[in-house]
């Protein structure tokens, strides 16, 4: 295209970035296209940042975090789809503390995570046995109405089946009766 003097527009750049993310194991070609896009004063949009999903697949968390952090400076703040890609990718990779930080941002912005991401997040938290995090997540997900009844039941049963909480509840109950 350049050889023929044909300029690329956002649609062409986005298609190239998506293609490099899908077919390459090295996202450097997609980043080169993003740099060329900036150099040619073509404004990126949310579709441009499918690069987030590509980086998540490659488990390049530092690059992903930097890219998402840089989006507002590039005039394209992360949207709900960007956050879902990031949250789902981190949950799939077992990066639950990082996913929790992303969830905080999502809830703050009023975005709800995907059901699949929430399911993987709960499974991971449950495996790690982090009851405090589970309670916190239930509260935040309630803020954006992001849990189905089965998720609530599973989450609440995990909280209530914690031995220390059960013992505390029994003690409180015995004090009330006395």
- Domain coordinates in residue numbering, the chain: 1-78, 93-178
DSSP one-letter code for 73: G
Q: Which of 143, 144, 139, 147 is nearest to 117 (CA)?
A: 147
What is the per-residue pLDDT across 8-65, written as a single tens digit (0 to 9) for each? 888 898 888 888 887 767 788 888 988 888 888 888 887 888 888 888 888 888 888 8
CB 106 within 8 A of CB 137: no
Is 80 exceeded by the pLDDT of residue 70? Answer: yes
Q: How confident is the model at residue 103 (pLDDT cuts 50, 70, 90)?
A: very high
CB 54 within 8 A of CB 23: no
CB 59 within 8 A of CB 25: no
DSSP H or E stretch at residue 110: none
CB 6 within 8 A of CB 38: no
Q: How far apart are CA 54 and CA 26, in angstroms?
A: 9
- What average pLDDT is seen over the chain? 79
Rounded mean pLDDT of 149-164?
53
* Backbone CA torsion sign across 21, 26, 28, 33: negative
Rounded mean pLDDT of 100-125?
89
Specify the pLDDT at position 166.
Answer: 47
């Amino acid at each position: 295209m350049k050889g023929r003097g044909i300029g690329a527009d956002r649609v062409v750049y986005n298609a190239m970035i998506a293609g490099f993310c899908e077919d390459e194991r090295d996202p450097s070609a997609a980043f080169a296209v993003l740099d060329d896009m900036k150099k040619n004063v073509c404004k990126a949009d949310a579709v441009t940042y499918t690069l987030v999903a590509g980086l998540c697949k490659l488990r390049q968390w530092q690059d992903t975090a930097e890219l998402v952090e840089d989006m507002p400076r590039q005039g394209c703040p992360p949207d709900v789809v960007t956050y879902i890609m990031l949250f789902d990718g981190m949950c799939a990779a077992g990066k639950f503390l990082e996913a929790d930080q992303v969830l905080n941002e999502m809830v703050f912005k009023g975005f709800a995570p995907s059901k699949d991401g929430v399911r993987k997040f709960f499974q991971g938290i449950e495996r790690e046995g982090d009851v405090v995090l589970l309670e916190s997540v239930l509260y935040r997900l309630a803020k954006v109405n992001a849990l189905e009844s089965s998720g609530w039941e599973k989450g609440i049963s995990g909280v209530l089946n914690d031995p220390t909480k059960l013992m505390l509840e029994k003690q409180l109950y015995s004090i009330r009766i006395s």
